[in-house]
Structure 1
């Protein structure tokens, strides 16, 4: 047994949300406790641990005689509100377990192995997904990142200072990127692909292009009891109509997905007509041109329904990640090591997708028997978690090369 389930059981109480699932926003109390858990496990294995200037925690294994850029694995520990137990932590625990597997088998990787824990991957606190990997790779400017705010009005710069990091030092880190030869991320599958195929593990093929947009609808705040229905300029009604329009637009485009999962009225009183309503759109499609056309249609529809209610609306892009095809060379090596594993694309974003702009990346997915993710119903069977960790160990050795192999 690899001990993945045992490690996850150790953190099952951290950040438990009374509404169900987990609430583990980046740079919060739960996130810090989870980070301490990881550091403890890494040090117990004799790994060299440090936290870089962008908040990423690294644990390094330098097998005797190894050299060159490292093969990195790992994932994240933060969650969406009400998230499941496996999205992120499975990849971290499996990475630690994979090191155990390699050592127990006497594997001799020719390159250093590192485990990375990337902060604020979900973007649930500051609104920008994969914030740690975006910063280290230069995919987001420090100026933009530091100005991001959470719902309490705290900036990302404030959060960094409270967490012991210097905001002046965040940003693209070429020295760190040069030390990384490639990144292989293991993640719970967030769909039904492996259920339908009857397999416990898959090799990632691609990530759908996706982005987040904020819509702000401005109307006229007023009294709920004294304002006649015909006299209202209610942004909540306009927002409700817009949500339905967005659904219908996405339904009309094959393979498109569009979701409104967050809405915030101002001031938010039960007996108050809102003066402003903001909501966020998550849109995805394998063709980036189609994603752009979808958003253009959404922009027009939102403006139209807002005007019909006497309101105005604006749409602002918050993040956009193009479709990613994972590195073919890494996939070929992993397929040779895992000949029974199918290849699967995913509609979910990951740090591996962001880092693909700078370094070769790959992914492994572990079967989720419910097919549900970002929900307490997310699940991985203990036996599949063990198979995933062994598959990750096999993949890391295949990618790193083994010093006992004369071809290395």
Structure 2
């Protein structure tokens, strides 16, 4: 099956007719359909298929017990109303690259694996890269069991309802010991390649990033009868903090976003008692990130005090800077540049990935495919057909150089 036919087959799964975006959330019906698609692709190619204890899907060519397997893949879940390419491009390209290598008659000297990591986006339970974090031991079983969605359903309950045993989740060092190198292909989440004119690039590092929850607690009251002077309105403190986040990010050359909010009692004619907002911030280095978050926290405290509002700030997730394996990165650049006129720019990214999580345990690298819109996590996310094909060929070249004679 060609890249185009696989892409067309997967494209309708979990797509919203209203927004045109995708709602492929972990352990839902759309997620199950994506998983069924992955299993079918694996079995149709004669690959050994398995789902691990944390819900990640694997397809193997050769015996991974040797401990030097070259693995590629990404994820199939999405953010709310996300784009088609973030995640699925890497999985579809992995199967297409294997098809290309078989067409070339490549002889594999190392096992090859293709993976779909579960719950990478964290759209349902609020924590990104759950499948890879659990596998790498960067998320404890106790922490995972405390994760809940907006309806109060816990992660174990959702997994069990989907037919997976939540009692088995946890670190999986034996599976990671199978991997000699992991290469993740991903659509670029930005316009660096579009600006440079290159269809494919190699990642250098992932910026340090995290998520912080800001709880502003005031006093619920009637919107029509309460004097402005008598109000303890947490929405005012929250709104001022959103603006402060923008200012702090601009000063530090970083990014900071309040993209999710929960309000109680959430009535049109009610002053809120609670405004809960989530800050996502990322920067090129730890010092800059600390400056942004400290600045936002300090400003939020000042605004809360001014309006008689209580403030609690909790860090919900954090990933320090990830420098991808330099030997593997340089080898990919060498492979992709050998015998071709393809330039291979090396660029950093502010987006987190499963490759970044695994980098603490195994050599990892990433390839990016050009995104001319620069838009991600949106239905406007895009990669041209020719660039997708160039990405498949680049991934096939990389895998051939790493896993074949």
TM-score w.r.t. length of structure 1: 0.95
Secondary structure in 1 matching 2:386: helix
Report the Cα distance in structure 2 between the residues aligned to 1:19 and 1:384, rounded to whole angstroms: 25
Written as runs of structure 1 = structure 2, the 5 A alignment for 1:386-405 is 386-400=389-403, 402-403=404-405
- Give the Å deviation of 1:68: 4.1
- Give the Å deviation of 1:112: 0.5
Match of 1:258 among 233, 237, 256: 256
1:289-342 deviations in whole A, cap 9, x for unaligned? 321232122211111111111111111001110111111111122112111221
Contact between 2:19 and 2:379, CA under 8 Å: does it hold in 1?
Answer: no
- Give the Å deviation of 1:283: 0.6
1:108-146 deviations in whole A, cap 9, x for unaligned? 121110000001111111111111110000011110011
> Which residue does 1:336 correspond to in 2?
334
Report the Cα distance in structure 2 between the residues aligned to 1:354 and 1:348, rounded to whole angstroms: 12
Written as runs of structure 1 = structure 2, the 5 A alignment for 1:34-113 is 34-62=34-62, 67-113=66-112
Report the Cα distance in structure 1 between the residues aligned to 2:313 and 2:399, rounded to whole angstroms: 43
**Paired residue total:** 399
> Which residue does 2:340 correspond to in 1?
none
Secondary structure in 2 matching 1:338: helix
2:380 aligned with 1:377: yes
> Which residue does 1:120 correspond to in 2?
119
Contact between 2:209 and 2:283, CA under 8 Å: does it hold in 1?
Answer: yes
> Which residue does 1:406 correspond to in 2?
none
Secondary structure in 1 matching 2:13: coil
> Which residue does 1:314 correspond to in 2?
312
Contact between 2:65 and 2:178, CA under 8 Å: does it hold in 1?
Answer: no
1:71-95 deviations in whole A, cap 9, x for unaligned? 1100001111111000000000000
Report the Cα distance in structure 2 between the residues aligned to 1:237 and 1:272, rounded to whole angstroms: 14
TM-score w.r.t. length of structure 2: 0.96
> Which residue does 1:25 correspond to in 2?
25
> Which residue does 1:359 correspond to in 2?
362
Contact between 2:222 and 2:269, CA under 8 Å: does it hold in 1?
Answer: yes
Secondary structure in 1 matching 2:186: strand
- Give the Å deviation of 1:6: 2.3
Contact between 2:25 and 2:123, CA under 8 Å: does it hold in 1?
Answer: yes
Report the Cα distance in structure 2 between the residues aligned to 1:108 and 1:312, rounded to whole angstroms: 64
Contact between 1:3 and 1:386, CA under 8 Å: does it hold in 2?
Answer: no
Secondary structure in 1 matching 2:79: coil
Q: Gapped runs of 5+ residues in structure 1?
A: 404-408
Report the Cα distance in structure 2 between the residues aligned to 1:274 and 1:4, rounded to whole angstroms: 50
Report the Cα distance in structure 2 between the residues aligned to 1:15 and 1:268, rounded to whole angstroms: 29
- Give the Å deviation of 1:343: 1.1
Contact between 1:66 and 1:110, CA under 8 Å: does it hold in 2?
Answer: no
Bigger shift: 166-175 or 354-363?
166-175
2:198 aligned with 1:166: no
Report the Cα distance in structure 2 between the residues aligned to 1:25 and 1:154, rounded to whole angstroms: 13
Report the Cα distance in structure 1 between the residues aligned to 2:317 and 2:393, rounded to whole angstroms: 35
Report the Cα distance in structure 2 between the residues aligned to 1:8 and 1:228, rounded to whole angstroms: 58
Say if 1:156 and 1:214 are closer, same or farther in 2 by CA, change over 3 A.
Answer: same
Secondary structure in 1 matching 2:252: coil
Q: Gapped runs of 5+ residues in structure 2?
A: 338-342
Written as runs of structure 1 = structure 2, the 5 A alignment for 1:224-235 is 224-235=223-234
> Which residue does 1:289 correspond to in 2?
287
Contact between 1:330 and 1:399, CA under 8 Å: does it hold in 2?
Answer: no
Report the Cα distance in structure 2 between the residues aligned to 1:5 and 1:267, rounded to whole angstroms: 48
Report the Cα distance in structure 1 between the residues aligned to 2:157 and 2:24, rounded to whole angstroms: 18
Report the Cα distance in structure 2 between the residues aligned to 1:24 and 1:228, rounded to whole angstroms: 45
Report the Cα distance in structure 2 between the residues aligned to 1:77 and 1:143, rounded to whole angstroms: 25
Secondary structure in 1 matching 2:81: coil
Report the Cα distance in structure 1 between the residues aligned to 2:287 and 2:167, rounded to whole angstroms: 36
Contact between 2:207 and 2:349, CA under 8 Å: does it hold in 1?
Answer: yes
Considering only aligned residues, what root-mean-square deviation do their CA atoms show, in Å?
A: 1.5
> Which residue does 1:239 correspond to in 2?
238
Contact between 1:5 and 1:385, CA under 8 Å: does it hold in 2?
Answer: no
Report the Cα distance in structure 2 between the residues aligned to 1:327 and 1:361, rounded to whole angstroms: 6
Contact between 1:67 and 1:110, CA under 8 Å: does it hold in 2?
Answer: no
Secondary structure in 2 matching 1:252: helix
